[in-house]
Chains A and B, each alone.
Chain A
Amino acid sequence: MDAAEKISVEDEAVDKKIFKDCSKIAFYRRQKQRLSKKSTYRALLDSVTEGKESTRFQIINEAAKVPLLAEVYGIEGNIFRLKINEEAPLKPRYEVPDVLTSKPSTVRLISCSGDTGSLVLANGKGDLKCHITANPFKIDLVSEEEVVMSINSLGQLYFEQLQIPPKQSRATKENEEDTSDDTTQENQEELGLWEEKFRNFVDVKDNGPASIGLDFSLHGFEHVYGIPQHAESHQLKNTSDGDAYRLYNLDVYGYKIHDKMGIYGSVPYLLAHKLGRTLGIFWLNASETLVEINTEPAVKYALTQMGPVAAKEKGRSQTDVHWMSESGIIDVFLLTGPTPSDVFKQYSYLTGTQAMPPLFSLGYHQCRWNYKDEHDVKAVDAGFDEHDIPYDVMWLDIEHTEGKRYFTWDKKRFPNPKRMQELLRSKKRKLVVISDPHIKIDPDYLVYAKAKEQGFFVRNHEGGDFEGVCWPGLSSYLDFTSPKVREWYSSLFAFSVYQGSTDILYIWNDMNEPSVFRGPELTMQKNAIHHGNWEHRELHNIYGFYQQMATAEGLIQRSKGKERPFVLTRSFFAGSQKYGAVWTGDNTAEWSYLKISIPMLLTLSVTGISFCGADVGGFIGNPEAELLVRWYQAGAYQPFFRGHATKNTKRREPWLFGEEHTRLIQEAIRERYALLPYWYSLFYSAHVASQPVMRPLWVEFPDELETFSVEDEYMLGSALLVHPVTEPKATVVDVFLPGSSEVWYDSKTFAHWEGACTVKIPVALDTIPVFQRGGSVVPIKTTIGRSTGCMTDSPYGLWVALSTKGSAVGEFYLDDGHSFQYLHQKQFLHRKFSFTSGVLINSCADKRGHYPSKCVVEQILVLGLKKHPSSVTSHSPGLNHPVDPGYSGPGVVSS
Chain B
Amino acid sequence: MLLVLLLLPMCWAVEVKRPRGVSLTNHHFYDESKPFTCLDGSASVPFDQVNDDYCDCKDGSDEPGTAACPNGSFHCTNTGYKPLYISSRWVNDGVCDCCDGTDEYNSGIVCENTCKEKGRKERETLQQMAEVTREGFRLKKILIEDWKRAREEKQKKLTELQAGKKSLEDQVELLRTLKEEAEKPEKEAKDQHRKLWEEQLAASKAQREQELATSAFQELDDDMDGAVSVAELQTHPELDTDGDGALSEGEAQTLLGGDTQTDAASFSDRIWAAIRDKYRSEVLPTDLPSPSAPALTEPKEEQPLGPSQPAEEEDEEEEETEEEEGGEEGEDEDSQETPPPVVPPQTVSPTEEDKMPPYDEQTQAFINAAQEARNKFEEAERSLKDVEESIRNLEQEISFDFGPNGEFAYLYSQCYELTTNEYVYRLCPFKLVSQKPKLGGSPTSLGTWGSWAGPDHDKFSAMKYEQGTGCWQGPNRSTTVRLLCGKETVVTSTTEPSRCEYLMELMTPAACPEPPPEPPASGNRDEL
Binding site for B on A (CB under 8 A): 1-3, 5, 11, 388, 412, 426-428, 647-651, 782-786, 789-795, 858, 881, 895
Contact = CB atoms under 8 A, between A and B. Distances in A.
B70 interface: yes
B70 A784 contact: yes
B497 A651 contact: yes
A786 B107 CA distance: 15
Contacts of B94: 428, 789-790, 792
A789 B54 CA distance: 21
Contacts, number: 62
Contacts of B93: 428, 785-786, 790-791, 794
Would you call the interface of chain B mostly helix, strand, loop, or mixed? loop
Contacts of A650: 498-499, 501
29 contacts: A1-B496, A5-B472, A11-B472, A11-B473, A388-B89, A426-B95, A426-B96, A428-B93, A648-B500, A649-B498, A649-B499, A650-B498, A650-B501, A651-B497, A651-B498, A783-B68, A783-B89, A784-B70, A784-B89, A785-B67, A785-B90, A785-B93, A786-B93, A790-B94, A791-B93, A793-B92, A858-B68, A881-B52, A881-B54
A782 B63 CA distance: 14
B87 interface: yes
Nearest to B87: A388
Nearest to B97: A385
Contact of A794 (B54, B67, B95): B67
Contacts of B497: 651
Nearest to B71: A388
B70 A783 contact: yes
What 8 pairs between A and B have smallest CB-CB spacing? A790-B93, A651-B498, A650-B498, A648-B499, A785-B93, A648-B474, A11-B473, A5-B472
Interface string B476-509: 0000000000000000000011111100000000
Contacts of B273: none
B4 to A, nearest CB: 19
A789 B109 CA distance: 13
B24 interface: no
Contacts of B87: 388
B67 A783 contact: yes
A884 to B, nearest CB: 9
B315 to A, nearest CB: 48
A427 B94 CA distance: 8
Interface in B420-478: 421-422, 444, 471-474
A650 B500 CA distance: 9
Interface string B38-56: 0000000000000011100
Looking at B96, B496, B497, the one whose CB has the most chain A CB atoms below 10 A away is: B497
A798 to B, nearest CB: 16
Contact residues on B (Cβ < 8 Å of other chain), bracket: 20 to 34
Nearest to A785: B93
Contact of B54 (A648, A784, A793, A895): A895
Nearest to A368: B498
Contacts of A786: 89-90, 93, 95
A792 B107 CA distance: 10
Contacts of A412: 421
A794 B63 CA distance: 14
Nearest to B96: A426
Interface of B: 52-54, 67-68, 70, 87, 89-90, 92-96, 107, 421-422, 444, 471-474, 496-501
A1 B94 CA distance: 39
B89 A785 contact: yes
Contacts of A881: 52, 54
A792 B92 CA distance: 10
A2 B496 CA distance: 11
B95 A790 contact: yes
A881 B46 CA distance: 13
B116 to A, nearest CB: 20
Contacts of B498: 649-651
Nearest to A886: B56
A651 B475 CA distance: 13
B489 to A, nearest CB: 24
Contacts of A427: 95
Contacts of B89: 388, 783-786
B280 to A, nearest CB: 56
A794 B68 CA distance: 8
Looking at A11, A648, A881, A895, the one whose CB has the most chain B CB atoms below 10 A away is: A648
B422 to A, nearest CB: 8
Given A427-B95, A793-B92, 6 more contacts: A388-B89, A426-B96, A428-B95, A785-B67, A858-B54, A881-B54
A677 to B, nearest CB: 16
B201 to A, nearest CB: 62
B192 to A, nearest CB: 65
A786 B53 CA distance: 19
A453 B372 CA distance: 87
Contacts of A2: 444
Contacts of A784: 70, 89
A3 B499 CA distance: 12
B54 A790 contact: no
A368 to B, nearest CB: 10
A340 to B, nearest CB: 38
Contacts of B96: 426
A426 B92 CA distance: 13
B186 to A, nearest CB: 58
Contacts of B501: 650
B70 A647 contact: no
A425 to B, nearest CB: 10
A668 to B, nearest CB: 15
A6 B501 CA distance: 19
A650 to B, nearest CB: 5
Contact of A793 (B107, B472, B474): B107
A389 to B, nearest CB: 11
Contacts of A795: 68
Nearest to B72: A783
Contacts of B95: 426-428, 786, 790
Given A412-B421, A648-B473, A881-B52, A790 B499 contact: no
B48 to A, nearest CB: 11
Nearest to A390: B89
Looking at A427, A783, A792, the one whose CB has the most chain B CB atoms below 10 A away is: A783
B100 to A, nearest CB: 17
A784 B444 CA distance: 47
B468 to A, nearest CB: 13
A792 B421 CA distance: 44
B443 to A, nearest CB: 12
A427 B92 CA distance: 12
A161 B42 CA distance: 82
A655 B90 CA distance: 20
A785 B498 CA distance: 29
Contacts of A426: 95-96
Contacts of A1: 496, 499
Contacts of B107: 793
B471 A648 contact: yes
Contacts of A895: 54
Nearest to A373: B495
Nearest to A429: B95
A786 B422 CA distance: 38
A833 B473 CA distance: 55
Contacts of A648: 471, 473-474, 499-500
Contacts of B68: 783, 795, 858
Contacts of B496: 1
A783 B107 CA distance: 15
A786 B52 CA distance: 22
A2 B501 CA distance: 13
A647 B421 CA distance: 20
Contacts of B499: 1, 647-650
A784 B96 CA distance: 17
A260 to B, nearest CB: 28
B46 to A, nearest CB: 10
Nearest to A4: B499
